[in-house]
Amino acid sequence: MTTPVCTSANTTQFTAYVRTKGPTLLRTARSLTPNPSDAEDLLQTALTKTYLAWDRIDDHRAVDGYVRRTLVNTRTSQWRKRKVDEFSTDEVPEPAATGAPDLTEQQAQRDALLRAVGRLPPRQRAMVVLRYYEDMSEVQTAEALGVSVGTVKSAVSRALGKLRDDPELELCVA
């Protein structure tokens, strides 16, 4: 005899979870892939996997970590399976003059910021990611890392100072 994947009560819980945490999880997915459409697909895949495992998750307070780990693992699998669609050519194509924002420049700035955050010490990097990428409050960040709120405030302040002084980021603003 097979058991149902999720009961109606579990479906209701899962739906409430997605409504509550969906925007935050989408930001996390967008930090894992440069294309917003791919980020939405990545999140949908991770949520599907989470839904299928919903009744096996004992502690629903840990669902955020489960979904984030699923996002990372799914993205890693996609990256490993990717097909390279680049072809060499003798001529460089001319950029289209549409008056739209330069997406290449925006991506370069985002990449520079991610590299700068990556150069922060691990503890400061974790606090900056939780505060600004995951949009957690100082109290939530402190609880997640097991430190005091004052430690979060001072470490984030120092980290932001380092980011302001980063020479690679100064080139992006100029």
Same domain for 156 and 108, yes or no, is yes
CB distance 28 to 40 below 8 Å: no
- Whether 2 shows a pLDDT value over 50: the answer reads no
Percentage of the chain modeled with pLDDT above 70: 84
Is residue 90 assigned to a domain? Answer: no
Lowest mean per-residue pLDDT among 16-20, 31-35, 155-159: 31-35
Is residue 115 assigned to a domain? Answer: yes
Cα 51 to its chain centre, rounded Å, is 20
- Whether 86 shows a pLDDT value over 70: the answer reads no
Q: Write the pLDDT tens digit of every residue in 136-174.
A: 999 999 998 899 999 999 999 999 999 888 888 775 554
Distance (Å, whole) CA 71 – CA 61: 17
Model confidence at 87, pLDDT cuts 50, 70, 90, reads low
Report the number of distinct structural domains present in the chain. Answer: 2
Same domain for 127 and 75, yes or no, is no
Same domain for 133 and 76, yes or no, is no
User: Which pLDDT value is given to residue 156?
Assistant: 93
User: Which pLDDT value is given to residue 40?
Assistant: 93
- Whether 1 shows a pLDDT value over 70: the answer reads no
Same domain for 77 and 107, yes or no, is no
Same domain for 118 and 154, yes or no, is yes
First CA to last CA distance, the chain: 66
Q: What is the mean pLDDT of the chain?
A: 83
Does the pTM of the predicted model rise above 0.75? Answer: no
Query: What value does the mean pLDDT take over residues 124-136?
Result: 89
Is residue 16 assigned to a domain? Answer: yes
User: Which pLDDT value is given to residue 32?
Assistant: 86
Same domain for 125 and 166, yes or no, is yes
Query: Could you tell me the CATH number of the domain that includes residue 163?
Result: 1.10.10.10
Give the single-character DSSP code of 146. Answer: T
Is residue 92 assigned to a domain? Answer: no
CB distance 65 to 72 below 8 Å: no
Distance (Å, whole) CA 63 – CA 150: 27
Is residue 134 assigned to a domain? Answer: yes
Query: What value does the mean pLDDT take over residues 110-124?
Result: 89
Which is nearest to 130 in space by CA: 28, 9, 11? 28
Is residue 140 assigned to a domain? Answer: yes
- Whether 131 shows a pLDDT value over 80: the answer reads yes
Stated as kind and residue range, the H or E segment containing 145 is helix 138-145
Which is nearest to 157 in space by CA: 124, 110, 132? 124
Domain span at residue 107?
A: 103-173
Percentage of the chain modeled with pLDDT above 90: 28
